[in-house]
Amino acid sequence: MEEHPEGHSEAYARIRSKKTLGEILEVATTFEQKAFEFYTALIPKVSKNLRYLVEELAEEEKEHYELFRKLADNPEIENQIQQRIQVPVEDHHFSDYVQLPDLGEHPDDQAILQYAMGREDAAMKQYRELADSTEPGPIHDLFEYLAYEETMHKRELEKLYYQTVYSGGPGNN
C-alpha cells in the first residue's frame, strides 16, 4: 500500500522545486490522481458494508483531480505558466492529534476516515505553507485556492467522521 504523497517531505520538496504555475498544478493533479487510485484499489479490499465510504472518497478525489485539470486548461492560467517563482525554504510542522493509522488488511470505517482526514490535513497544511511564503500574485492565489479546497474537503470529512464515529447508543442514532 502506498503512502500518501501530500505532506511527506519528499513530496513537499517535489512541489517546492517546481517553478511555474503549470508545473505546480501538474504536481497537485498528480497527488489527486494518486489518491484516487489508492482509494479505488482499496474498494474491493473492504467489506461491503464499509465500501460506500471508500467509493465516496474515490469519487471526491476524482472530482478534485478534474478540477485541477480544468484549472490547468484555463487560458488565464496559461499566461502565467511561464513565470518563474522563487520559493524560500521554510520549516513545516505537523500538529495533528488524530493518529494516522496503519490501514492494514481490514480497516474499519473509523480507520479509513482517519486516514483520509490525515491526508487532507497534510495537503491543506502544505498548500497553506506555500501560500504564506509566496508574494501576492496569481501564484499566491493559486496556492490559496488549493489550500481552501483541501480545507473544505477536510471539513466535510470531519463532519462525516463525527457522524459515523460519535453515533450509536441511546439517543444518539
Partner 1 sequence: MSDIPYKDKGSILRPFKSLQFFARPAVTQPLEPRPASDNYRGFHVNDWKKCIGCSTCQKVCDNAAITMVRVPGLPEDPVKGIRNERPAIDYGRCCWCGLCVDICPTGSISLTTEYVHTCREDELDSYFVLPDPNGIHGEHFPKGWDKTADADLVDLERQPMGELPGEERIDSFDEIVEGYTEQQAIVEASRCVQCGMCHDACPTHMHAPEYIRAIWEGDVEEAVRQMYRTNPFSHVCGRVCTHRCESACSIGRRGEPVAIRWLKRYAMDAVPDLRIREIAAEGKVDYISGRRIAIVGAGPAGLTAAYDLIRKGHKVTVFEALDKPGGMTRYGIPEYRLPYDRLDADVAVITSLGVQIQYNTRVGRDVTMDELRRDHDAVLIAIGLQLGRSTRIPGSDHPQVRRAVDLLRMITRGESFEVPERAVVIGGGNVAMDIARSLARLQKQQFGKVQITVCALEDFEHFLADPEEVTEAREEGIEILDSRGPKEVVIEDGRLTGLKTLGVISIFDEQGRFAPRYDQQDEQFHPGDMVIESIGQMSDVSLLGEELTERLEWNRGRLKVDEDGHSSEPWLWAAGDMVFGPDVVHAVADGHRVAASMERYLAELDSEKQDDGRTS
Q: Which residue has the cell 461491503?
A: 48
Q: Is 170 in the site for partner 1 (CB under 8 A)?
A: yes
**Grid cell listed for 18:** 517546481
Q: In the set 75, 88, 136, 169, which binds partner 1 (CB under 8 A)? A: 169
SS3 content of the chain, % helix, strand, coil (to 5): 70, 0, 30
Residues 49 to 68 in contact with partner 1, rule: CB under 8 A: 49-53
Measured from the CB of residue 164, what is the shortest distance to partner 1 in angstroms?
7
Cβ 157 to partner 1, closest distance in Å?
A: 10
Distance (Å, whole) CA 153 – CA 159: 10
Q: Is 102 in the site for partner 1 (CB under 8 A)?
A: no
Which residue in the set 26, 55, 109, 144 belongs to the binding site for partner 1 (CB under 8 A)?
A: 109
- 138-165 helix and 21-42 helix, angle to the nearest 10 degrees: 20
Q: In terms of CB distance, is 48 or 84 closer to partner 1?
A: 48
Closest CA to 86 of 135, 123, 147, 22: 135
87 part of the interface to partner 1, by CB under 8 A: no
Kindly tell me the burial class for residue 61, based on how many C-beta atoms sit within 10 Å of its own C-beta (0-12, 13-18, 19 or more): buried
Identity of the amino acid at 6? E
| Residues in contact with partner 1, shown as a per-residue x/- string from 21 to 50 under the rule CB under 8 A | --------------------------xxxx
Give the nearer residue to partner 1 in terms of CB position, either 53 or 146: 53
CB-wise, 33 or 110, nearer to partner 1? 110
As a whole number of angstroms, the distance between CA 37 and CA 167 comes to 30
Residue ranges in contact with partner 1 by CB under 8 A: 47-53, 97-99, 101, 109-111, 114, 155, 158-159, 162-173
